[in-house]
Structure 1
């Protein structure tokens, strides 16, 4: 899996790693890399990675497009290039400060132990997102915003757990902010809890088809015949897409609604054993 650009402090190294990763997973060449960014010189990206050329302001945006960088990751890449190409110490320091602020805002927390209770009910991840959007709101107001799916007392208890487990920080009376922008689960505990959460969220998705108008929800799908190799390649694309979406959602604080995105790819049939054709 390709590391996030936010883990790098050398933009040339990141670009070279991206190229090598793409080449390992697909038929990808320096010409393809350059063309995707819209550069006219067929080997421009190769020259940049080798340190024989740099990126202009426009070039930074084209390179970001070529690597599908969006949101916080795109802004980090801009600062990363500034840091790498700055001539003055003051400019280099300013870019590095921006990089660290973005990295700090995007920190990820791995959930283990008691914190795994976070995934026992949909109310915990929802309230972790919703409570900071409603500063000063009382538990009853928050419960109403959730369609009264649970009581004010349940909201009060959930907020107490989220604060105690350091998912939220209480900064004033009925005012909360998130402690970490992103969360991921311990691999050991993942299977059971993820299955239960997926089943719960799938049920909500079914109800959302009728509950919300088409301009407030998006449902699309495709039925296709693929093999194991196709499946592996599609999973990589879905993972890249998921990372870009997380980058967009976590690039800024705040919002006005909590959404759930389900990314689903599952079989509708058993595997078919291919029969070799025989000549008659």
Structure 2
């Protein structure tokens, strides 16, 4: 059931999302491409197998993974990347998941997808890129890498700062004016909907750094507060909606700031359940 599709496997970090999009693209190109036809070409007896995997109702064993690879006609390098996605997606051990994710990023960074879309692939992969980009907005940077490295928290070695600045310039996110000052351009990297794990991991890094701020910064330089709330489903929903409005209001304040920025502040918002659902009597 092999067919050429515009779907690039390297822009995915969730194997179920990849399978969903890959099958949809092949079906759009060839109406004869059905779940039954795929199962037959892959050597799978259950015609609903692929749909069950996509919906999360089934896991993929090594043997089943090989059959899916055969059904889609993946190349050897695509097959190896797909196996990594499957192992990562089904792994429960966080240490092992971190190792697998580094392997996924390493393979993606060597792919044609990254060569054509370096910013999309790498910008949200490392918290230092957004940090340095924001620092350039608040710091008169003219190539003094050591000073810029000391300006940010946590401090960064000048070699790392130089690398970040060089790549941000290559991606068109930062440019150097004739007077020598580096400035942020109007370009923006929209997070890819197929790289959700990348954003989750970036948020985790930022939350970890918020914990460091709690222990290292004096109270007058930070605001950290937590509270447990016992609420009804209706009020829980209203709070979530109010948080969204608050976030939009903060962003508008930043956009409308009449003065030039001179510092970077990190705003974290966490709101999540601390109990399981309870059935009504």
Q: What is the CA distance between 1:127 and its match in structure 2?
A: 0.7
Specify which of 99, 111, 114 is matched with residue 118 of structure 2.
Answer: 114
- In 1, the alpha carbon distance for the partners of 2:250 and 2:138 equals 19
Number of the residue aligned with 2:200: 195
Number of the residue aligned with 2:270: 264
Determine helix, strand or coil for the equivalent of 1:169.
Answer: strand
Q: What is the CA distance between 1:227 and its match in structure 2?
A: 3.9
**Unpaired runs of 5+ in structure 1?**
1-111, 276-280
Q: What is the CA distance between 1:131 and its match in structure 2?
A: 1.6
Number of the residue aligned with 2:242: 237
Q: What is the CA distance between 1:274 and its match in structure 2?
A: 2.5
Q: Is the 8 A contact 1:134 1:175 kept in 2?
A: no
Number of the residue aligned with 1:166: 172
Q: Matches of residues 41-52 of structure 1 in structure 2 within 5 Å? A: none
Specify which of 142, 156, 164 is matched with residue 150 of structure 1.
Answer: 156
Q: Is the 8 A contact 1:132 1:175 kept in 2?
A: no
Q: Is the 8 A contact 2:138 2:264 kept in 1?
A: no
Q: Is the 8 A contact 1:163 1:169 kept in 2?
A: yes
Q: Is the 8 A contact 2:173 2:185 kept in 1?
A: yes
- In 1, the alpha carbon distance for the partners of 2:154 and 2:128 equals 11
Q: Is the 8 A contact 2:173 2:186 kept in 1?
A: yes
Root-mean-square deviation over aligned CA pairs: 2.3
Q: Is residue 2:231 matched to residue 1:226?
A: yes
Q: How many residues align?
A: 163
Q: 1:129 to 1:172 in 2, by over 3 A?
A: farther
